[in-house]
Structure 1
């Protein structure tokens, strides 16, 4: 298959008989690309947002016994379950598309099918909408749709349109809020649509996935510790693994609502520390 990178499947924890299709963008969603700016991050292959590859691997390997789970997360989704499929749908054309595929492998993200734009004659919006529509029509047995993108350009609108086109599907959309949305912003992003959940770091994405039963509590704990470790640093090369220099936080905190889920005191404290540390970092160097 032309765009085949790799493939994984997972079982949706809250409905073991459900089939779930996970669709993820790459640039500015997983990879620090700076799509609305100079896009230079697109040329790198090891510039993930801190902790995201571990969250994704946990998503791929969730419904397994402990021994198989450990093997799975250490091997990019090998020995995965079989009821969820992952597709990376990227609007990056040409060489950038190939670098996106290399990024996933080099940064340790779980295996999946990479579907990239073949020509710049087709807009990113039209390509993503067409590709995702085709996937849902080809895979009608997948009732649960999880889409993960960013607010740099088209993902919120595309995901909203998909939800309207497939009203019988249960759609969960997550938007990485890496840009502010004010009319006077130099690098202006777009707002999420109603019902779309936002994330800024691997910790708050992990918590939202935990709320849905897609990862276990330990993933939230590990992601929270990772975010705190990097965000507490005074070394910009380290803290920018959480918030690169062009990221802005106001739009995220405007739209974010912490999921009300039961967790241990240890995990709750670790998550709160991570979010407080990120907020302080935003105030110190960003906003």
Structure 2
């Protein structure tokens, strides 16, 4: 375990569709298949990019429930070669007999603002805990990472030095103002299959 120094560079990274292929823009059925029934797959080229930030501390912030920590850690760090770091995930009760658990799991899949607020809070806490560190934020365009990171940069202007967005929905062409001022990482885009008539 490595302690994070008060000064230096930190990378705050999303997980789903930033460094691990999940297919969030494809909808619930696709995500369930990728999460429970297929082997995890790393986003091409991302572990090499992260390896270039030699002296950085890493913080992985995700809307994924904390119950997935062990398989995600094993895959990302031991199999895919991402740097070790702290994990900040969504708290979800583990009592599957509870209505609260099922409600929270449903909200996790259907309500983007639940994850938005959780990530905004957790990232703000990290930057507040390390006021003398500089931060690189890395996410993807499939959910609300550009909006969350833009808000973080406005709240902590002296600390956020760069925002990288892996563009998985082709916003660099369809919606370029959404990614304005951010470094865009080209990626294969997710395209929903049209139902057959």
Structure whose residues are more often strand by fraction:
2
- Answer whether contact 2:59 2:88 (CA < 8 A) is retained: yes
Whole-angstrom distance in 1 between the partners of 2:70 and 2:115: 16
Whole-angstrom distance in 2 between the partners of 1:31 and 1:168: 29
Shift of 1:8: 8.2
Instruction: Tell me whether 1:117 sits opposite 2:65 in the alignment.
Output: no
Say if 1:93 and 1:42 are closer, same or farther in 2 by CA, change over 3 A: same
Match of 2:182 in 1: 196
Whole-angstrom distance in 2 between the partners of 1:97 and 1:192: 30
Whole-angstrom distance in 1 between the partners of 2:34 and 2:21: 6
SS at match of 1:36: helix
- Answer whether contact 1:87 1:113 (CA < 8 A) is retained: yes
Shift of 1:98: 4.1
Instruction: Tell me whether 1:85 sits opposite 2:57 in the alignment.
Output: yes
Q: TM-score, normalised by structure 1?
A: 0.51
Match of 1:36 in 2: 25
The residue correspondences of 1:243-262 to structure 2 (distance < 5 A) are 243=188, 246=190
Say if 1:89 and 1:190 are closer, same or farther in 2 by CA, change over 3 A: farther
Whole-angstrom distance in 2 between the partners of 1:128 and 1:85: 18
Match of 1:52 in 2: 46
- Answer whether contact 2:132 2:159 (CA < 8 A) is retained: no
Shift of 1:58: 2.8
Which stretch of the first structure deviates more once superposed, 50-59 or 151-160? 50-59
Match of 1:132 in 2: 123
Whole-angstrom distance in 2 between the partners of 1:126 and 1:109: 26
Q: 2:76 aligns with which of 83, 90, 104?
A: 104
SS at match of 2:24: coil
Whole-angstrom distance in 2 between the partners of 1:147 and 1:49: 16
User: 1:248-285: per-residue Cα shift (whole Å, max 9, x none)?
Assistant: 9xxxxxxxxxxxxxxxxxxxxxxxxxxxxxxxxxxxxx
- Answer whether contact 2:138 2:165 (CA < 8 A) is retained: yes
The structure whose Rg is larger is: 1
Match of 1:141 in 2: 132
SS at match of 1:30: coil
Specify every segment of 5 or more residues in structure 2 that has no aligned partner in the other structure, as ranges. 93-103, 109-113, 193-197
Q: TM-score, normalised by structure 2?
A: 0.71
RMSD: 3.0
Shift of 1:42: 2.9
Instruction: Tell me whether 1:27 sits opposite 2:16 in the alignment.
Output: yes
- Answer whether contact 2:149 2:163 (CA < 8 A) is retained: yes
Specify every segment of 5 or more residues in structure 1 that has no aligned partner in the other structure, as ranges. 1-5, 11-17, 62-80, 202-242, 249-287
SS at match of 2:52: helix
Larger RCO (CA within 8 A; separation ≥ 6): 2
- Answer whether contact 2:20 2:42 (CA < 8 A) is retained: yes
Aligned residues: 166
Shift of 1:96: 4.0
SS at match of 1:152: coil
- Answer whether contact 2:21 2:40 (CA < 8 A) is retained: no
